[in-house]
Amino acid sequence: MNEDGSINHNNYKIVYVAPMKALVAEVVGNLSNRLEQYGVKVKELSGDQTLTRQQIEETQIIVTTPEKWDIITRKSGDRTYTQLVKLLIVDEIHLLHDNRGPVLENVAIFLRVKLDKGLFHFDNSYRPVPLAQQYIGITVKKPLQRFQLMNDVCYEKEDSASREILQSHTELVKSSDLKDLLPYGFAIHHAGMVRADRQIVEELFADGHVQVLVSTATLAWGVNLPAHTVIIKGTQIYNPEKGAWTELSPLDVMQMLGRWKASV
């Protein structure tokens, strides 16, 4: 840092190690667009793009591959570059487990980390998106049977959580029709149901466990239950006061269609 608060770009290097040349070019483009206004130069150093000694000296961020930077660090004349490195970014660090792992380890040797002080270790509990793995063996040899079995396994795994929830709620509802339908992801909703059953159906549908809900038109005027698709079976309803079938008003139809609109 200079006395006037500006950054002295000659006193540091940042190395970004990417696993593939295609990714190197992409990173160079992204970083250049973001940092150009700050006077930070970003250059590619790979099998497709070489840099002269002067270019390396003028560059603050070097985006390279493990193999290329390993060569640079082994050259005695280039030791000054490694001494200026203040930050090393290794993208796709899990490649340590493949045949390029030893190269990445060599790249990091010059960091001279003091192992007695420990290292940061981030396991799966630090993942922003939880990830779990499960291996399922399939012993069937016939292609069609294997394909069908894999479909069944995928369906069971994807649907298992909802089925467990639906099964537990099936024991709570009073309606015999609901007891028959809920385990399959279907439900009904009308004014003749007890309030507790209607609430269970509304919650299961809102959470996505009930995939198909058959209801009367009055549901459209009730709670907000967004749907992916709304099918209106006819536009006539029976009016007990008139003792005849009457047409739904355009407002009623739009209100039912609004169940789909609410989910967009």
What are the per-10-residue average pLDDT scores of the chain (264 residues)?
72 87 86 90 87 87 86 66 81 64 58 58 72 77 86 70 84 91 88 88 87 76 65 77 82 67 42
CB 96 within 8 A of CB 105: yes
- Exposure of 107 by Cβ count < 10 A (0-12 exposed, 13-18 middle, 19+ buried)? buried
pLDDT of residue 61: 94
* R_g (Cα) of the chain, nearest Å: 32
**Tokens found for residue 259:** 């169940």
Q: Return the CATH class of domain 13-126.
A: alpha beta
Which residues make beta-bridge pairs with 16? 63, 89
Domain extent listing, the chain = 13-126, 165-261
Query: Whole-model pTM?
Result: 0.47
Q: How many CB atoms lie within 10 A of CB 30?
A: 12
- Is CATH 1.10.3720.10 the classification given to domain 165-261? no
Asked if the domains at 13-126 and 165-261 fall in one CATH topology, the answer is yes
Residues with Cβ within 8 Å of 18's Cβ and at least 6 positions away in sequence, in order, are: 24, 27, 63, 64, 65, 91, 92
